[in-house]
Amino acid sequence: MGSHLRLGVNIDHVATVRNARGIAHPDPVRAALIAVGAGADGITAHLREDRRHIVDDDIARLMAVLDKPLNFEMAATGEMVAIALRHRPHAACIVPEKRQELTTEGGLDAAGAHNHLKPIVAELTKAGIRVSLFVDPDPKQLDAAVSVGAPVVELHTGRYCEVEGGERRSELARIAAAAAHAAKVGLECHAGHGLNFDTVGPVAAVPNLVELNIGHFLVGEAIFNGLADAVRRMRALMDAARAGASE
Ligand code: PXP
């Protein structure tokens, strides 16, 4: 299983730092280009309802300059669907969004929101956008993703990253079981949230995963060693984990 595992770099928190001053620097689009130059296979950006980091103009500029796929993270709202249809990014990842949360705290309840999600997934798919649902590693949510017509799921790795020891091992087993279930039901499987240099290896070694999306840690690490270095190290850790898994 030496297949290439794609790295999507989430540049939201470059915009967080920019917005703290209300000026143009640091520019998340510049960060995206550096990340691609250092080996990112794609860029992820989450346009939140409150525009706390990425803003509409960032999406327009990313679409204009990127020669790698943009994964547009969005809540399942009419406003965000309209924006996605206007820009037609390569992919859209539908996430749950609560105004007060610091970050995307849990996976989407695809099973509970079936009737709301199905027409949205259909509309985005019709526009040529590859839709993924950000869900907890729970087979019930993967079955729900199939039933709303999504071709891709992204498994939430936040809990795996938060806990330690035996609990982390059992979270990893849940992720591996969910990735196996995704393959069985015909879903492309991604994963992400909270990953860093210490936690990425075991996830990267999970069979059937084809993409990891990583943001906050890379942007934080960039403060110390630069973004290109952080992306290259993450890429190398992912490749080493994949190579080890195939031995
Ligand atoms: N995937 C999804 C769907 C997310 O919402 C986020 C956070 O915006 C990430 C991946 C990346 O998480 P982190 O910034 O913790 O690496």
- The structure tokens listed for 6 are 């794609």
Residue 99 burial (C-beta neighbours within 10 Å; 0-12, 13-18, 19+) = exposed
Atom from ligand 1 closest to the CA of residue 8: 10
The rounded average pLDDT for each run of 10 residues, N- to C-terminus, in the chain (247 residues) is 86 98 97 98 97 98 98 97 98 87 81 95 98 97 98 98 98 98 98 98 97 98 98 98 83
Of all protein residues, whose CA lies closest to atom 4 belonging to ligand 1? 193
Q: In which residue are the tokens 């690490």 written?
A: 221
Atom from ligand 1 closest to the CA of residue 214: 16
* pLDDT for res 106: 81
* Reported pTM: 0.96
CB 13 within 8 A of CB 218: no
Q: In 127-164, which ranges are continuous DSSP H helix?
A: 139-148, 158-162
52 lines ligand 1 (CB under 6 A): no
Rounded to 5°, the CA angle 124-109-165 comes to 120
104 lines ligand 1 (CB under 6 A): yes
Q: What is the CA radius of gyration of the chain?
A: 17
Of all protein residues, whose CA lies closest to atom 6 belonging to ligand 1? 193
CA distances from 234 to 6, 49, 178 (A): 11, 30, 23
Q: If residue 211 lies in a helix (H) or strand (E), which one and from where to where?
A: strand 209-214
- The residues annotated as belonging to the active site are 46, 73, 193
193 lines ligand 1 (CB under 6 A): yes
Separation CA 120–CA 63 (nearest Å) = 21
Domain ranges of the chain: 21-42+52-131+147-185+194-246
- CATH class of the domain whose range is 21-42+52-131+147-185+194-246: alpha beta
Q: In which residue are the tokens 């806990």 written?
A: 163
Atom from ligand 1 closest to the CA of residue 93: 3
CB 210 within 8 A of CB 174: no
* pLDDT for res 137: 97
* pLDDT for res 1: 47
* pLDDT for res 2: 54
**Residue 194 amino acid letter:** G
- The structure tokens listed for 43 are 């860029």
